[in-house]
Structure 1
Amino acid sequence: MAASLTTVADLINSYRLTNLTDRRREDARHGRWWVEHFGTLPASGLTQARVLQALDQVRIDGRTGPRKGSTIGFYLRFLRRATAWGACVAMLPADPCAGIPLPKEPTPPMRVLTEEEEAQLCQALGRPYNLWVRFAVLTGLKQSEQFTLLWRFVQLDRSTVLIPQGMTETMVELSLPPDAVTILRLLRQEYPTSLWVFPDPENTTRPADVHAFYYRWAGTIQRLGLPRLAWKDLRHTCGVRLAKQGVPIEEIATFLRQRELRRAYYYRAWLPGMAPKGRLPRPVRVPVFADLADAELRALWAREATDAPLTFGETCRLYAVHHLQQRSARRNFEGIYKQFFQPWESRPLASITRKEVRVWFMGLARTPAHANKALTFLRRVYNVALDMEVYEGTNPAVRIRPYACPARERFLSLEEMQRFMEGLPLLPPKPRAYFLALLLTGARLSEVRCMRWTDVEWTTRLWKKSRTKNGTTQFLPLPVQVMDALALLPRTSEWVFANDKWHPWSCANPQKLWQTIRRRWNMKDVTIHDLRRTCASYLAMAGENLPTIQNVLNHRSLANTSIYARLNTKAVDRALQAQADRLCGLVTGGVEVLPALTHGESISLCNAMR
């Protein structure tokens, strides 16, 4: 069906007929609302602005007042699924909901029922509802698990119950405490013919009506004057009471069937009458070398090396403030300073000898990369002191051989490259464009992650990288395949790869995706930066010269690019093959025939080669 002839009603109805899910009743209600508002509108006219305006109408159309953010999210999730499906089957030119974030509302605080409140609530609810509440507190069952529990899943003689685990179609055996077994025996005596453990008191042939129970539940809580209480809070109450009894965290998480231990730690940190202890606030980072005023900087420079020599710490401060302008470079130096240089902070520069530095450097053999970086910074600090004439001695960090640290040489093989290229179309559009740009352009992770739409010139296919690692601006031609992948992305922000808050991706976003990708595609030892190395390696193997590879990688020095020269083996192959042809051509029919080896000589030769 052409996109121009398709209405929103046709799109939603086609989606519901094609995608049959377990949410049919909810999908029918949400789809009916969107059809009432946009039914006759052409699908191509469904824009992001109209969707946002409709969401405001969803908020005020509640039966008992404005709807909550979570309720609005259900309507938006349905429309997002429908428009994403419509874009895939060409019923929509683009997905108008791709850049609309889901509304969020603050998570309510964790509520724990005290023993007094539990006694009041059970007494007010009466039989059999008090048994339901008591059983939930003892077992921590979810609402969906408890009200759908069948007697065939209960084994009273073993004090266990089997809990179905949703989509996995597996059963988990849960051991019950003695009080919970007693409640089950009472329910069995009260409803002997029911298939359900918690049947409807009015009709025991069907399970309990959850909505009718909640009307009674909410009215009882309001009549008693208790604070807000949901069914999930009974599960929290079970976890907190287990933690108070000294049950280990792992056993609590297993008993409550929680995937993470985080919630169990909250249970252990609970105090009566208080909210759970959260994480401690992140400490404010205090820089080691704060910026100096011009007067202080000039005063340090003007100090005479003989009258008032600078200490090592003051010289490091001069070096950091005056020479390291980039924040990343200064943080790197501050980390090295705190790890290696602080014992020398108050010592004069002249008191540190080459022998002392050599002994210090030999003690760092277990971390050769960090040791080499620390030695480089130490040499630079002394060179700066000599250039500024605040030190008149020699540099104790020279003529010390650094440790050998072989560079990483991993890049994708032809088989891995084929798997990578075959798997890219299976990814969503944004990750597919991101990893394709990394592989085909050889750009750094941060450069692609912080790409702006204004940096890409679509007519000339030029990408202007304003901020690179070496501090220069680079103009990089983009391949046609990368341009086609970028053209499929929605322009919801100034950033090409933006998150839900319209900011560029963080460093963690690509790493999380890559962990899944390399596990699925059997490339467990490949990092994201290896894609940049793969681009340069295949350029070298194709015969490209080093200056071209240097321009692609934006290396400041050709020495950094020279490691790829060994991969250009075409000239070596041509020379070796020519040499082999010349040497093998010496065997002609006119040469004197040499005598053959005797039988004994052949046996001796074979024995010697074993």
Structure 2
Amino acid sequence: MPKRDSHIKSYKLKSGDTRYMFHAYLGKDPISGKMVQITKRKFATYNDAKDAYDQLLAEGIKNYIKPKQKTVDDVYNIWFPAYKETVKESTANKTAINYKVHIKPWFEKDYIDEIDTAKFQAWVNELYKNLVKYKEVINRFGQIYDYASALGYCKKIYNPVHAVIIPRKTKKHRRDVKDNFYTFEQLQDFLTVAKKQNYRSYTYFLLLATTGLRKSEALALKWSDIDWSNKTVSVTKTLALGIDNQLIVQTPKSLTSDRPIPLTENMSNVLKKYRQKQKSLCPIIFHGISNNYVNLSKPDRWLQAIYNADKSLKKITIHGFRHTYATLNKDQQRTDVEAVMGHNSLEMTEHYTHATNDGMERIRDHMNSLNL
């Protein structure tokens, strides 16, 4: 008869029946560091107790100990500090806002290892009805879940993002932007009103329309960014909203956003006149009263003031001036225009050097010919 395992003990019930039990040491809890000892009772036979004991030892502590449960909010607060070090501050701020507005209200107190698939699908359905960039928010939730999985707070084989149906397109009505630009004549009318209304606004919008600058790139400019001899402006920074919506200066949107841009003869002269009118030694071109950068919403107020001054003007958005620049240069070589505008693509990267060296003068000559 084979020798019995000494860990398996027999004991008597009050009825006189025999039952079996064992006491097993599985090791240390990897989270708490405490020793884990398990006692199991009420096995009808020795063999039942022996099988259960052997299985426990074979599976080990990781399969026996359930990780301490974390809510979605708990995991986010662990994940976000690490995540924000891997992206631009403006991107981190956008992620924080998306979490606060779109994820936290639904899942804040839910344990991350108990996410209900039906609830997650309902959340996805609401997102795509009301948000254009809904997939961005869903993907962020997926990152949070994967991080929880890596920390042992939920099963690695299951991610709710992969378990639901994600619609291809948003149901939210997109703004119609196909007409969000000025023709040459419409731009002339706008600039005439702007010049009379406020010279700073006039300078700002003329700069956008004749250079293709993004709103935040123009607001970040300093006088030192202008090369008066070569009549160019260097785009090396952009304004953005950092953590807690604080205004910050950061690197441009992409690799090709850091670029020199040709100024027209008139644009150069307008900037010189504007500088004289400022009567300030502030290094920032479009500065506020306190000689700091103006808020990103300021140009919208400048634009509205111009439209209020003449109700007959066609209304476009701030970004529409960038579209206007592209339209004014629609007959120029595409790579030249993309280089000046700082578009980021494989083709743009391949042609960037050639376009900035040769195409910049072609663009300058064309824009000068418009006499804006």
- Structure 1 residue 553 corresponds to structure 2 residue 341: yes
Matched-pair contact (CA < 8 Å) for 1:497–1:505: yes
The counterpart of 2:263, out of the listed 467, 470, 479, is 479
Deviation for aligned residue 1:384: 4.6
CA distance in 1, matches of 2:129, 2:138: 15
Which of 159, 162, 186 in structure 2 is aligned with 1:395? 159
Q: Which residue of 2 aligns with 1:459?
A: 229
Percent of aligned positions that are identical: 18
The answer to whether the aligner puts 1:334 opposite 2:96 as a matched pair is yes
Unaligned runs of at least 5 residues, structure 2: 1-30, 32-61, 239-251, 349-372
What's the C-alpha RMSD, in Å, of the aligned pairs? Answer: 3.4
- Cα distance in 1 for residues equivalent to 2:135 and 2:272: 44
On the 8 A contact 1:450/1:495 being kept in 2, the answer is: yes
Structure 2 match to 1:501: 290
Select which of 123, 127, 134 maps to 1:360: 123
Are 1:354 and 1:396, in contact at CA under 8 Å, matched by a contact in 2?
yes
- C-alpha contact (below 8 Å) 1:311/1:348 kept by paired residues: yes
Deviation at 1:485, TM superposition (A): 1.4
Matched, 1:420 2:190: yes
Residues 267-306 of structure 1: matches in 2 within 5 Å? Answer: none
Deviation at 1:515, TM superposition (A): 0.8
User: 1:536 is matched with which residue: 306, 326, 341?
Assistant: 326
Q: Hey, what's the Cα distance between the residues in 2 that align with 1:460 and 1:306?
A: 68
**Counterparts of residues 142-181 of structure 1 (less than 5 Å):** none
* 1:61-80 aligned within 5 A: none
Shift of 1:321: 1.2
Residue 558 of structure 1 deviates from its aligned partner by 6.4
Q: Secondary structure at the match of 2:160?
A: coil
Decide whether the 8 Å contact of 2:72 with 2:112 is kept in 1.
Answer: yes
Secondary structure of the 1:431 match is helix
Q: Show CA shifts across 1:154-203 (max 9, x none).
A: xxxxxxxxxxxxxxxxxxxxxxxxxxxxxxxxxxxxxxxxxxxxxxxxxx
Aligned to 2:301: 512
The DSSP-based 3-state class of the residue aligned with 1:324 is helix
Q: Is the 8 A contact 1:368 1:403 kept in 2?
A: no
Counterpart contact for 2:71–2:109, Cα < 8 Å: yes
- 1:344 corresponding residue in structure 2: 107
Secondary structure, in 3 states, of the residue corresponding to 1:494? coil
Q: Which has the larger radius of gyration?
A: 1
Q: Displacement, 1:361?
A: 1.9
Which of 1 and 2 has higher RCO (CA within 8 Å, sep 6+)?
2
The residue type paired with residue 345 of structure 1 is E
Residues 1:430 and 1:414: Cα distance change in structure 2 (over 3 Å)? closer
Within the candidate set 320, 325, 339, 2:80 is matched to 320
Structure 1 residue runs of 5 or longer lacking an equivalent are 1-298, 561-610
What count of residue pairs does the alignment treat as equivalent? Answer: 257
Q: CA deviation at 1:367?
A: 1.5
Secondary structure of the residue aligned to 2:100 is helix
Q: CA deviation at 1:390?
A: 6.2
Q: Distance in 2 between matches of 1:388 and 1:463?
A: 48
* AA partner of residue 403 (structure 1): K
Partner of 2:218: 448
Identify, as 1 or 2, the structure richer in strand: 2
Q: Does 1:522 find its partner at 2:285? A: no
State the partner residue of 1:470.
253
What is residue 8 of structure 2 aligned with on the other side? none
- Is residue 435 from structure 1 mapped to residue 205 from structure 2 by the alignment? yes
Match for 2:108: what amino acid?
Answer: E
Amino acid at match of 1:431: S
CA 1:390/1:538 → structure 2, altered by over 3 Å: closer, same or farther? farther
TM-score by length of 2: 0.58
* TM-score normalised per structure 1: 0.37
Aligned-partner Cα distance in 2 for 1:447–1:415: 26
The AA in structure 2 aligned to 1:307 is P
- Equivalent AA in structure 2 for residue 331 of structure 1: N
Distance 1:521 1:552 in 2: 32
- Once the two structures are TM-superposed, the CA of residue 441 in structure 1 deviates from its matched residue by 1.4
* Alpha-carbon offset, residue 436 of structure 1: 0.8
> Measured at CA, do residues 351 and 544 of structure 1 come closer, stay the same or move farther in structure 2, by a change above 3 Å?
farther
**TM alignment of 1:60-139, pairs within 5 A:** none
Contact 1:419 1:521 in 2 (8 A): no
For 1:311 and 1:366, the matched residues in 2 are separated by 26
CA shift in 2, pair 1:498/1:360, >3 Å? closer
Tell me how far apart the structure 1 counterparts of residues 214 and 93 of structure 2 sit (CA, whole Å).
20
Q: CA 1:349/1:553 → structure 2, altered by over 3 Å: closer, same or farther?
A: farther
Q: Is the 8 A contact 2:184 2:328 kept in 1?
A: no
> Shift of residue 318 of structure 1?
3.4
Give the corresponding residue for 2:364: none
